[in-house]
């Protein structure tokens, strides 16, 4: 069969068919608050590390839901767990524990 179209680069689309539901379920069990985010960005805005690094809880949650957990982990590397994001979150997400839980679930396995 003849392949048609451009195949020089792999697709950069987010493929929701390939997200890991099992790991995500583990994360939800550890910290159910991961489901509560409404992406307001308060956490990122107040983040002490976010001024210098791409630290963002909001983006990390989004990346994980899109199956891109490596990007999420990179995003949380600079976190100092200071807790400001917990204080400003309008949905009262326990962001500190969520960050620890994301690391626990996704750092261990590939």
User: Which residues of this protein are in contact with another protein, per CB under 8 A?
Assistant: 31, 33, 38-54, 56, 58-59, 73, 77-84, 87-92, 94, 96-97, 100, 103-104, 107
Q: Which helix (H) or strand (E) holds 46?
A: helix 42-46
Task: Select 20 or 104, whichever has its Cβ closest to another protein.
Answer: 104
In the complex, least distance from residue 94 CB atom to another protein, rounded to whole angstroms = 6
The residues, ordered by sequence, that sit 6+ positions from 77 with a Cβ below 8 Å of its Cβ are 53, 55
Q: Could you tell me how far CA 2 lies from the centroid of its own chain?
A: 39
Task: Select 25 or 41, whichever has its Cβ closest to another protein.
Answer: 41
């Amino acid at each position: 069969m003849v392949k048609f179209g451009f195949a020089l680069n792999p697709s950069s689309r987010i493929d929701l068919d390939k997200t890991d539901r099992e790991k995500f379920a583990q994360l939800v069990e550890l910290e159910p608050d991961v489901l509560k985010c409404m992406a307001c960005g308060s956490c990122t805005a107040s983040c002490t590390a976010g001024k210098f690094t791409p630290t963002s809880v909001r983006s990390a949650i989004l990346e994980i839901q899109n199956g891109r957990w490596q990007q999420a982990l990179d995003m949380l590397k600079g976190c100092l767990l200071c807790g400001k994001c917990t204080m400003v979150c309008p949905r009262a997400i326990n962001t500190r524990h969520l960050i620890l839980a994301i690391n626990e679930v996704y750092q261990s396995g590939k």
